[in-house]
Chain A
Amino acid sequence: MAFLREIQKTSQHFKKQHHQHLTDMPILKAVDVGVAFENGFAIEAISFSLCEGERLAVVGPNGAGKSTLLKVIAGILTPTRGEINIYGQEPGGHICIAYIPQRSQVDWDFPVTVADVVMMGRVGRLGLFRHPKESDWQIVNQALEVVKMQAFAGRQIDQLSGGQQQRMFIARALAQEAELMLMDEPLTGLDVNSQEDIFSIMDELKKQNVTVLVSLHDLKLAAQEFDRVLLLNRKMMGVGKPKEVFSKDNLLEAYGGHLHLLSTEDGLLALGDTCCDGEHE
């Protein structure tokens, strides 16, 4: 069976056939999604939907299942329970979903340039035995322009700063013509200026009607920069406006003993030890 599916994928890749979009459907709909590994469920009972152009932050402590959720939406993992729908179909046939990896999980010594990496986003559109054409290079250039990285096109990827690395991957997602971008901890380890760059790129993406789903461990940034947040620790504590979701009860449930809540003039301040790299799931 698995082999037949590979053959089918090859022929799809060859003929460049992928799922068509039914535009009256929400871009993403998750119904009671659960993913189990050998030692139990990493996430379970996740239900929410996303409209086109929306921006959602998935927030939760380390090991909460944020990466797992992103990967199951991307169709990299299959849900053990429930289902994911992208424009009304399972994610497996879509090439409009871009998964932007955590920077710590990339081999930065790999012998490729920034332009090479961005061009990789075109491979799904090109199909088998076809080489990039002039128009593909134009798309790569435009993508680099959006993230202000044209000057780095010929640069080796090991010579980029953290913010530049992140912007390169967003350019790759643009070259892929992604309509749903899943960014795994894009802000981790970036300085404030680089974080601001990423947010202004996200604003630009919104104008282009790209839907963005970001995993974050910074509650404050999530509350400031996102209209909607999803609070996750294996189960979903809530989804909606930050004010509603980040209630005292929800936060205590998600972060347990790791969280300290302080009432300040600005409202509720949550302090947690949820830093940062190497979320292994």
Chain B
Amino acid sequence: MMINFITEPLQYAFMVRGLAASIMVGIVCAVVGTYVVLRGMAFFGDALAHAILPGVAVGYLVGGGAREPLFWWALITAVFSSLGIGAISRSTKIKEDTAIGVIFAGMFALGVALISTVRSYTVDLAHFLFGDVLGVRAFDLWLIVIFGGVVLISIIAFYKEFLVLSFDPILATTLRLPVRLFELLLLILIALTIVVSLQTVGVALMVAMLVTPAAAAYLLTRRMPVMMALAALIASFSGVVGLYLSYYLSIASGAAIVLTCTAIFAVVWLVKTLSKFIVSGKNSN
């Protein structure tokens, strides 16, 4: 029975591709998300995800629904948005989160406006907003492998530099590391991660994939590499469980994946809080 439960969806190629995509995306998002959580960049990640919508829309209109132009347009928009947000928040009097808010809402509205010119508006918009992991094609899987791989290799190759930069930027300066360049690289890596994950969870739910697994892992460990590994495990597990939930309960796939992540976070948080409560209760006796 149980085996049937697991194998039944696997007879469909779209399910297998969807599972592969959500596992890989989960790993990339979780590893990059570790830095997003530790550096307090959740709002930046959310904004960046929303800000690429106009790029996606142009790619969609230009390519008539083909995947490839859509990917490249999204990629270019993401990289420019991340650099643009960085530049504006540095050069004006306006606080960074305000600058991010202004750009993010404006870009998002532009994206919605562009997509609304197409007739099948609601369906397409929903795919971009909430993901369509069951529509993943072999070509998309290759893009995830290549660009997700680039992200992971960069994070590993510059592990010690990113660690110093995130823990103590002043130390990075006195060690004469190219601080600005690494800051820029991290923004580009986050942008790449978002584009790679676009089809799995969509623009609106992206921040959950970046933040939730890493936050749960943060509660469980106090070691950076362990945190990355745990976050990757939680995220890819959520990807698989979410897809099965989506298959059997007919829930939107992106939402199912994010809800599974959130549930895991909730359980971890609850157990941690309760155990702290019990320990402190024992101590006071």
Determine if B174 and A95 form an interchain contact, defined as CB atoms under 8 angstroms apart. Answer: yes
Given the complex of chains A and B, what is the CA–CA distance between A117 and B166 in angstroms? 12
Determine if B176 and A9 form an interchain contact, defined as CB atoms under 8 angstroms apart. Answer: yes
Determine if B180 and A93 form an interchain contact, defined as CB atoms under 8 angstroms apart. Answer: no
Judge if A110 is at the interface, Cβ distance under 8 Å: yes
Is chain B's binding surface mostly helix, strand, loop or mixed?
Answer: helix
Given the complex of chains A and B, what is the CA–CA distance between A93 and B178 in angstroms? 12
- A108 CB to closest chain B CB (Å) equals 10
**Contact (A10, B38) CB under 8 Å given A74-B174, A99-B171, A112-B224:** no
Determine if B170 and A76 form an interchain contact, defined as CB atoms under 8 angstroms apart. Answer: yes
How many residues of chain B get a CB closer than 8 Å to chain A's CBs?
27
- A174 CB to closest chain B CB (Å) equals 14
Judge if A267 is at the interface, Cβ distance under 8 Å: no
> What residues on B are CB-neighbors of A112 within 8 Å?
163, 167, 222-224
Judge if A151 is at the interface, Cβ distance under 8 Å: no
Determine if B157 and A110 form an interchain contact, defined as CB atoms under 8 angstroms apart. Answer: no
CB proximity to A under 8 Å, residues B143-200: 157-158, 160-161, 163-164, 166-168, 170-171, 173-178, 180-181
- A165 CB to closest chain B CB (Å) equals 13
Determine if A101 and B168 form an interchain contact, defined as CB atoms under 8 angstroms apart. Answer: yes
Judge if A75 is at the interface, Cβ distance under 8 Å: yes
Judge if B273 is at the interface, Cβ distance under 8 Å: no
CB proximity to A under 8 Å, residues B215-233: 218, 221-224, 226-227
Judge if A202 is at the interface, Cβ distance under 8 Å: no
Determine if B178 and A111 form an interchain contact, defined as CB atoms under 8 angstroms apart. Answer: no
User: Which of A7, A74, A112, A156: most chain B CB closer than 10 A?
Assistant: A112
- A186 CB to closest chain B CB (Å) equals 15
> What residues on A are CB-neighbors of B181 within 8 Å?
6-7, 9-10
Count, A-B residue pairs, CB within 8 A: 92
- A133 CB to closest chain B CB (Å) equals 13
Residue of A nearest to B223 (CB): A111
> What residues on A are CB-neighbors of B221 within 8 Å?
111
Given the complex of chains A and B, what is the CA–CA distance between A94 and B175 in angstroms? 8
Given the complex of chains A and B, what is the CA–CA distance between A9 and B174 in angstroms? 12
> What residues on A are CB-neighbors of B157 within 8 Å?
129
> What residues on B are CB-neighbors of A117 within 8 Å?
167
**Interface residue from B161, B166, B176, B224 paired with A93 (Cβ < 8 Å):** B176
> What residues on B are CB-neighbors of A107 within 8 Å?
167
Given the complex of chains A and B, what is the CA–CA distance between A29 and B200 in angstroms? 58
> What residues on B are CB-neighbors of A93 within 8 Å?
176
- A5 CB to closest chain B CB (Å) equals 9
- A173 CB to closest chain B CB (Å) equals 9
> What residues on A are CB-neighbors of B224 within 8 Å?
111-112, 116
Determine if A111 and B227 form an interchain contact, defined as CB atoms under 8 angstroms apart. Answer: yes
Given the complex of chains A and B, what is the CA–CA distance between A18 and B161 in angstroms? 17
**Interface residue from A18, A99, A119, A176 paired with B170 (Cβ < 8 Å):** A99
> What residues on B are CB-neighbors of A6 within 8 Å?
178, 180-181
Given the complex of chains A and B, what is the CA–CA distance between A37 and B276 in angstroms? 45
Determine if B222 and A120 form an interchain contact, defined as CB atoms under 8 angstroms apart. Answer: no
Across the A-B interface, give the 9 residue pairs with the lowest CB-CB distance, nearest first: A124-B175, A9-B178, A10-B178, A156-B222, A6-B181, A6-B178, A111-B222, A120-B164, A111-B224
Known: A116-B163, A117-B167, A156-B222. 20 other contacts (CB 8 A): A7-B181, A9-B177, A9-B178, A9-B181, A12-B176, A74-B170, A75-B176, A76-B173, A94-B176, A98-B174, A111-B218, A111-B221, A111-B227, A112-B163, A112-B167, A121-B171, A123-B164, A124-B175, A129-B157, A131-B160
Residues of B within 8 A of A (CB): 38, 157-158, 160-161, 163-164, 166-168, 170-171, 173-178, 180-181, 218, 221-224, 226-227
Q: Supply 9 A–B pairs (Cβ within 8 Å), ascending by A.
A: A7-B178, A7-B181, A94-B176, A111-B222, A119-B160, A120-B168, A121-B171, A123-B160, A131-B160
